Amino acid sequence: MSDKKKKTRKRRSRNGFLDMLNALLTLVVLGLVVGGALLFFATQRFYAQGDLAQDQTFTVESGANLGSVATQLVNENLIADRWTFQFGAMAQRKEGSIRAGEYRIAAKSSMADILKEITEGRAITYSVTIPEGFTSWEVVKRINEAEYLVGEITQVPPEGSLLPNTYSFERGADRQSILDRMAAKQDELLNEIWENRAPDLPISSPEELVILASIVEKETGVAEERPEVAAVFVNRLNKGMRLQSDPTIIYGITNGEGSLGRGLRRSEIEEKTAYNTYQIDGLPPGPISNPGIEALKAVANPATTDAIFFVADGTGGHAFAVTYAQHQENVAKWRVIERERAAAAAEAQAQAEAAAARDALQAEQAASDS
């Protein structure tokens, strides 16, 4: 082969390689341009204002992953493109940071806003309020009826073992978890109060403190007088007197399962039962409710008074007395108030019945005239 032919073949080979290299470089550049354009477009879309017209809630179920959440967001019209959302989450390395819960997505939220909300935001919380003095049966009933909780409580906790308060939770929380928190708070608080109790109280254990506090809780709805009511019972125990508390009798009848719905009968006051503090010495065998913080504190540190009697005073509170004679005077005043209220109620009932009779006659007359 001549040298000229060899040179020509080498030139062609070199030109073909350069052509291939140029083509490859062209493809790389084109890919970079297209990729850059796509990246720019996706980034713009990820941060662009959304189309959501008003605030909306969104629930991330427990165990959900990035793909399922993105699909759910599309299905609920919160985002238009799942792939852009997923790309943005992975670019920010948040694909493993999505937290279960119910979130409030603000109107016009971008995909970036939504991702931040479900990875860094606070889930919507709800609450259930347990009033002071609720029995454990009443507590379980209220929690079982509360919305947004799951599971059902079938076993009533021991009386006095729960701390009444308002408890927050996220949608889907287990009902039993609320009870567990109430019990833990009660244990924590009771230990603290017991450690800071007044000396020489006629109670020998935290359990007895809860029993007496549960009675105080049921005897008065006026927070300011709880220490004085507690002092009356403490004074009675110190003197060896019976507590003589109506709520204890009622608990012995109902077992804490709802209200009695009527006044006590004489036979019930005279019947000797474990919870009838007119008939037994000292404390009943257990609490009659779940007392609140203030009732527990009142028993641990009662007011300084010599009073051993109290009776309703007609204002929602009570009149206190040191002697039985003073107490009888207070009782007489309360009886007058009771009679006046009964008379007023009877008069109101009579007026209501008269009005109903007039309405019936007028309706009858109108019907006959037509």
* 84 DSSP 8-state letter: H
Q: Is 304 helix (H, G, I), strand (E, B) or coil?
A: coil
Nearest Cα to 308, choosing from 288, 326, 291? 326
Q: Which amino acid is at 314?
A: G
Tell me the average pLDDT across 173-180: 95
Same domain assignment for residues 187 and 229: yes
CATH code of the domain in which 116 resides: 3.30.1490.480
Same domain assignment for residues 286 and 193: yes
Least confident range from 38-42, 105-109, 113-117, 168-172: namely: 38-42
Full residue range of the structural domain in which residue 98 is found: 56-120
| pLDDT, position 43 | 79
Same domain assignment for residues 344 and 242: no
Q: Is residue 3 situated within a structural domain?
A: no
Same domain assignment for residues 202 and 299: yes
| pLDDT, position 361 | 63
Same domain assignment for residues 269 and 156: yes
Same domain assignment for residues 174 and 79: no
Per residue in 205-239, pLDDT tens?
999 999 999 999 999 988 899 999 999 999 999 99
Q: What is the pTM of this model?
A: 0.77
Q: At what angle do helices 136-145 and 175-195 cross, to 10 degrees?
A: 140
| pLDDT, position 35 | 47
Per residue in 1-19, pLDDT tens?
555 555 555 555 555 555 5
- Name which residue leads in pLDDT, 22 or 288: 288
Assess contact for 228 and 305: CB atoms under 8 A: yes
Per residue in 260-289, pLDDT tens?
888 889 999 999 999 999 999 999 999 999
Same domain assignment for residues 202 and 103: no
| pLDDT, position 135 | 97
The CA dihedral of 52, 56, 62, 66, to the nearest 10 degrees, is 10
Structure tokens at 184: 């833990």
Please identify, among 120, 154, 173, the residue that sits at the C-terminal boundary of a domain.
120
The CA dihedral of 222, 228, 234, 237, to the nearest 10 degrees, is -80
Same domain assignment for residues 180 and 107: no
Same domain assignment for residues 111 and 165: no
Q: Is residue 17 situated within a structural domain?
A: no
Q: Is residue 15 situated within a structural domain?
A: no
| pLDDT, position 15 | 58
| pLDDT, position 3 | 58
Same domain assignment for residues 211 and 83: no
Please identify, among 305, 331, 351, the residue that sits at the C-terminal boundary of a domain.
305
Same domain assignment for residues 266 and 300: yes
Nearest Cα to 139, choosing from 168, 172, 162? 162
Least confident range from 24-33, 76-85, 205-214: namely: 24-33
Q: Is residue 45 situated within a structural domain?
A: no
Containing H/E element for 180?
helix 175-195
